[in-house]
């Protein structure tokens, strides 16, 4: 084995949920005929209408003269021009913005858009361009203002010590067994040591949606220090529109609005979209030129068709959103029926994304042990402690939560929640 650099050591480790996934894959492989209900998946369900949309866009591309130009050529690092123009038009019209795509006379200062190979790469570029050590040797932090948040942020920084996360405030509705995380503004610090801020909205794993006011408060704090705020909108409107509560995407000088087409049925084509100030976009674009050149042009060409026709936004609100919202309702109703009323269990308010987040307060075993107990009864969900990247210090809450994917079928969700309730009762009674 070659000796690894500091970055090599950091990047060759499996972080967060990827480490658990290895255990899950092995469990499923060695199950010897045992049936599992797998509620760990982050892969979106293949919905027939969504698949048809992408099939139609592909057929249209294949029939067009553009095909050769698209797949047989390299393109610009900023992205494929028709996709950039489609996003500009859609967003200007939808949100009354005046962003521009390619720039008048190709002036870089007019470019508000960057297309990346998936949005994960965007967080990697951002975390390392704005966070980490400066040329003067000062450490600039990558701040996650509300923990828990997306496990993938755990691996994005080449300097792991740069990543810091803040504990939330908890709003608990004891009677209804519901709770909600709020950013704790009495703790959150955005200072001259902050390189950038990142959070997901709607949030993976919790389904939380920060309010418009909370977002603008964070952006204003960051603006005072000229700090970019990357708002991970992988589940946000207009596509995939996996918000079950009102929310308005926020734009502004230091906000980089980051989107993904993965949850709108195109995870394999790797399409991420950043909208922001041209100076910030330019930095990320150069990073991309060095790292990856550009995203798949085939994916970008079919995406431009899906956006221009209006079908992507329409399928998002009419098919994708109701599909997951219904699953969440089934899950919540089953837990309400099956879980003991006298136990302090709380489901996070389901405001979006494709997961439910369950907190069993005072759980006598760790989340990892609870995950093992669930496996025994044929249910797989993800232990919650993997979703607190950057959060230092002990906090029992980290070992009391579970992420449950809404990608299983309705009947699988019902059965799995019944089993989960039984396991909870048995674990508590052994106490």
Are the C-beta atoms of 198 and 123 separated by less than 8 Å? yes
Rounded to a whole number of angstroms, the minimum distance from the CB of residue 353 to ligand PLP is 7
CB 38 to ligand PLP: min, Å: 16
Q: Which is nearer to ligand PLP, 40 or 119 (CB)?
A: 119
The answer to whether 359 and 179 have CB atoms below 8 angstroms apart is yes
CB of 381 to ligand PLP, least distance (A): 16
Secondary structure of 190-201 in HEC code, one letter for each residue: CCCCEEEEEEEC
- What is the DSSP secondary-structure string of 197-239? EEEESSPTTT-----HHHHHHHHHHHHHTT--EEEE-TT-TTT
Interface with ligand PLP, residue 260, by CB under 6 A: yes
The residue from 78, 120, 316, 399 that contacts ligand PLP (CB under 6 A) is 120
Backbone angles phi, psi at 332, to 5 degrees: -65, -45
Applying CB under 6 A, the span of 23-31, 115-123, 279-287, 405-413 interacting with ligand PLP comes to: 115-123
Asked whether 197 and 230 are in contact (CB, 8 A), the reply is yes
Candidate list 42, 82, 145, 240; residue touching ligand PLP; CB under 6 A? 42
What separation, in Å, do the N-terminal and C-terminal C-alpha atoms of the chain show? 47
| Nearer to ligand PLP (CB atom), residue 231 or residue 380 | 231
Tell which residue, 193, 190, 189, 191, has the closest CA to residue 138: 193
Judged by CB, which is closer to ligand PLP: 228, or 272? Answer: 272
Which of 36, 80, 91, 150 is the binder for ligand PLP (CB under 6 A)?
150
Q: Mark residues 215-244: x for contact with ligand PLP by CB under 6 A, - for none.
A: -----------------x-x----------
> Would you give the distance in Å from CA 368 to the centre of its chain?
22
262 sits near ligand PLP (criterion: CB under 6 A)? yes
| Residue nearer to ligand PLP on the CB measure, 120 or 424 | 120
Measure the CA–CA gap between 124 and 287, rounded to whole angstroms.
Answer: 10
* Cβ proximity to ligand PLP, 119 vs 304, nearer residue: 119
Residue 403 forms beta bridges with which residues?
357, 382
H-helix or E-strand containing 57?
A: helix 48-63
| Tokens 């610009």 belong to residue | 76
Between the CA of residue 313 and those of 126, 243, 341, 417, what are the distances in Å? 27, 13, 40, 32
386 binds ligand PLP (CB under 6 A): no
Q: How far is the CB of 42 from ligand PLP (least distance, A)?
A: 5
When asked if residue 385 is in the footprint of ligand PLP (CB under 6 A), the reply is no
B/e letters for 92-101, b = 16+ CB within 10 Å, e = fewer, are eeebeeebbb
- Cα 412–31–356 angle (5° rounding)? 35
User: Could you tell me the two tokens for 400?
Assistant: 């009391």
Judged by CB under 6 A, does residue 356 bind ligand PLP?
no
Q: Which residue stretch of 1-9, 114-122, 164-172, 292-300 sits at the interface with ligand PLP (rule: CB under 6 A)?
A: 114-122
Given the complex with ligand PLP, which of 123 and 346 has the nearer CB atom? 123
Strands (DSSP E) along 61-190, which ranges? 113-116, 132-133, 139-144, 163-165, 169-173, 178-182
What is the spatial distance between Cα 283 and Cα 273, in angstroms, rounded to a whole number? 15
User: Which of residues 84 and 421 has its CB atom nearest to ligand PLP in the complex?
Assistant: 84
Among residues 40, 119, 208, 254, the one that binds ligand PLP under rule CB under 6 A:
119
Among 75, 103, 160, 267, binds ligand PLP (CB under 6 A): 267
Q: How many residues bind ligand PLP (CB under 6 A)?
A: 14
Q: Does 157 bind ligand PLP (CB under 6 A)?
A: no
Region binding ligand PLP by CB under 6 A among candidate stretches 49-57, 117-125, 221-229, 418-426? 117-125
From the CB of 60, what's the least distance to ligand PLP, in Å?
Answer: 24
The yes or no reply on residue 252 touching ligand PLP (CB under 6 A) is no
Alpha helices in 273-343 (DSSP H): 278-291, 297-308, 311-315, 321-338
Q: Given the complex with ligand PLP, which of 100 and 405 has the nearer CB atom?
A: 405
Q: Decide: is 152 part of the binding site for ligand PLP (CB under 6 A).
A: yes
Q: Please give the radius of gyration of the chain, using alpha carbons only, rounded to the nearest integer.
A: 22
Using the minimum distance from each CB to ligand PLP, give the nearer residue, 262 or 334.
262
Site for ligand PLP contains 118 (CB under 6 A): yes
Of 78, 100, 141, 200, the one binding ligand PLP by CB under 6 A: 200
Q: In the complex, which residues of this chain contact ligand PLP (CB under 6 A)?
A: 42, 118-120, 150, 152, 200, 204, 232, 234, 260, 262, 267, 272
């Amino acid at each position: 084995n070659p000796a690894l650099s500091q970055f090599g050591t950091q990047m060759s480790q499996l972080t967060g949920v990827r480490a658990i996934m290895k255990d899950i894959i092995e469990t499923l492989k060695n199950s010897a005929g045992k049936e599992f209900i797998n509620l760990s998946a982050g892969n979106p369900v293949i919905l027939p209408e969504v698949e048809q949309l992408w099939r139609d866009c592909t057929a249209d591309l294949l029939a067009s003269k553009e095909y050769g130009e698209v797949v047989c050529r390299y393109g610009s690092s900023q992205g494929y021009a028709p996709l950039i123009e489609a996003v500009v038009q859609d967003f200007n019209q939808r949100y009354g913005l005046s962003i521009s795509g390619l720039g008048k006379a190709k002036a870089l200062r007019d470019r508000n858009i960057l297309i990346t190979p998936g949005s994960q790469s965007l967080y990697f570029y951002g975390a390392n361009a704005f966070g980490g050590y400066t040329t003067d040797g000062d450490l600039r932090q990558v701040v996650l203002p509300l923990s828990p948040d997306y496990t993938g942020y755990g691996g994005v920084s080449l300097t792991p010590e740069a990543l810091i996360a803040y504990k939330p405030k908890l709003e608990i509705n004891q009677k209804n067994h519901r709770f909600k995380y709020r950013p704790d503004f009495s703790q959150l610090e955005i200072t001259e040591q902050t390189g950038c801020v990142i959070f997901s909205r709607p949030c993976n794993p919790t389904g939380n949606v920060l309010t418009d006011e909370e977002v603008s408060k964070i952006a204003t704090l960051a603006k005072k220090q000229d700090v970019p705020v990357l708002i991970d909108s992988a589940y946000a409107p207009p596509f995939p529109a996996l918000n079950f509560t009102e929310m308005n995407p926020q734009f502004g000088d230091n906000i980089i609005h980051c989107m993904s087409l993965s949850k709108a049925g195109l995870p394999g084509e790797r399409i991420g979209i950043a909208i922001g100030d041209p100076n910030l976009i330019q930095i990320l674009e150069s990073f991309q030129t060095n790292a990856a050149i550009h995203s798949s042009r085939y994916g970008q060409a079919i995406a431009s068709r899906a956006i221009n026709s209006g079908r992507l936004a329409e399928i998002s609100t009419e098919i994708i959103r109701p599909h997951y919202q219904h699953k969440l309702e089934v899950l919540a109703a089953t837990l309400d029926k099956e879980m003991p009323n006298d136990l302090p269990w709380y489901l996070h308010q389901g405001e979006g994304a494709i997961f439910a987040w369950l907190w069993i307060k005072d759980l006598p075993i760790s989340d990892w042990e609870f995950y093992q107990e669930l496996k025994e009864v044929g249910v797989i969900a993800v232990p919650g402690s993997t979703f607190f990247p950057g959060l230092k210090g002990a906090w029992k809450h980290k070992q009391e939560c579970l992420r449950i994917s809404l990608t299983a079928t309705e009947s699988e969700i019902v059965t799995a929640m019944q089993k989960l309730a039984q396991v909870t009762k048995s674990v508590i009674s052994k106490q």
